[in-house]
Amino acid sequence: MAKYNKYVQIGPATATAGAAETAMVKVCQKYPNIVVVLEDMGMPGIEWFKKNAPERIVECGIAEANGAVIAGALAAEGFIPFIHSFSFAVIERAYNQIRQSILVDRFNVKITARDAPWGDLGISHDIVEGIACTRCLPNLVILNPADAVEAEKAYIAMVDYVGPVYFRMEYSAPAPYKIFTEDYPFEIGKAYAIKDGKDATIIATGYLVTEAIKAVEILEKEGLDVGILNISTIKPLDEEAIIKVAEQTRAIVTAEGGTIIGGLGDAVASVLAESAPAALVKVGVEDEFSQSARLTAEVDELKDFFGLGAKDLVISVKEAIAKREQFKLVRK
């Protein structure tokens, strides 16, 4: 068993949806000015609102651009609006309205969106470009938690933070491991080293942190000491943490449940190019859309199809180490 850092205690797979539900009920009881702007879909905590505060629900129907403008207007009046849907709808259909009516004035709107390539809904609903298309938007914080503990803490933290936040929810992904202890100190903008390593580092986000843990356990049996850096805040990116692990190992693998074009891998590549040269291999979805496939406790066709599993990370780590030796990069 690999040796993990403080606040890490690997446990059984636990879905993150319940954590978001729990967190939403907590925050809407704390903040009476939270309102939900629905777009023909439910959202975490909606049953609580129906029962206890129906006057704090605004239903826009399938009119996501309208929902973004309404959310911005409500925020301008001192409310904390939450909008929620699949990212193809809540973000991509309303991209201009989010830019103009929320981000320009840095209004305090929280966008929770179902994103990532997992599941059986296919190209239309299982979006791979959610991180890439939001990273370039000014004034927007992007969160992508790794497990249920971090999801609840991140959800609460984004409400305490004053400003627009995109909370990425990999609802259709396989349930991740329970990774963190209950006293884990989540902080927006800070990465967390789940494990230190000498030979290479996997920089992962969201569900792929679970696959990174599986890969590290395999690699340890082969005599390789590989670290894991959890990037739960995609933006602002913790460049200091990335530079630290890059200097320690000079062999980096990024892992994300989304496109590698403009995603976490490209963000890390920019840091390495500017501040800490290292061999880099990016694991994620190539230049293609998602697909419809089976996802059960026994079968995960898309993980294999896109090469997002532990065995793929094992191969990529070895490739990164080989590149480091080829480039003659020196570790600290």
Give the pLDDT confidence of 14-73 residue by residue, as tens digits. 988 888 889 989 998 999 999 999 988 888 888 888 999 899 999 998 989 999 999 999
Please work out, in degrees rounded to the nearest 5, the angle formed at the alpha carbon of residue 273 by the alpha carbons of 270 and 275. 100
Q: The tokens 């679970």 sit on which residue?
A: 210
- Are 181 and 150 in contact, with CB atoms under 8 Å apart? no
Q: How far apart are CA 16 and CA 30, in angstroms?
A: 21
Q: How many CB atoms lie within 10 A of CB 293?
A: 19
Res 85 pLDDT > 90: no
The mean pLDDT of 197-204, rounded to a whole number, is: 98
- Sorted by sequence, the CB contacts under 8 Å of residue 140 that are 6+ apart come out as 103, 134, 164, 165, 166, 235
The mean pLDDT of 198-210, rounded to a whole number, is: 97
pLDDT at residue number 219: 98
The mean pLDDT of 271-296, rounded to a whole number, is: 89
Q: How confident is the model at residue 277 (pLDDT cuts 50, 70, 90)?
A: very high
What are residue 279's phi and psi, to 5 degrees? -70, 135
Res 294 pLDDT > 70: no
Q: What is the CATH number of domain 13-180?
A: 3.40.50.970
The mean pLDDT of 253-268, rounded to a whole number, is: 96
The mean pLDDT of 129-135, rounded to a whole number, is: 93
pTM for the model stands at 0.95
Please give the share of the chain, as a percent, with pLDDT higher than 70: 96
Q: Which CATH class is domain 184-327?
A: alpha beta
Res 297 pLDDT > 70: no
Strand partners, 157: none
Please provide the DSSP assignment of 98-132 as one string.
HIIIIITTT---EEEEE-SS-SSS-TTTS-S-HHH
- Are 188 and 233 in contact, with CB atoms under 8 Å apart? yes
Q: Which of 92-96, 273-277, 290-294, 310-314 bottoms out in mean pLDDT, i.e. has the lowest? A: 290-294
Question: Start-end ranges of CATH 3.40.50.920 in the chain?
Answer: 184-327
Question: Start-end ranges of CATH 3.40.50.970 in the chain?
Answer: 13-180
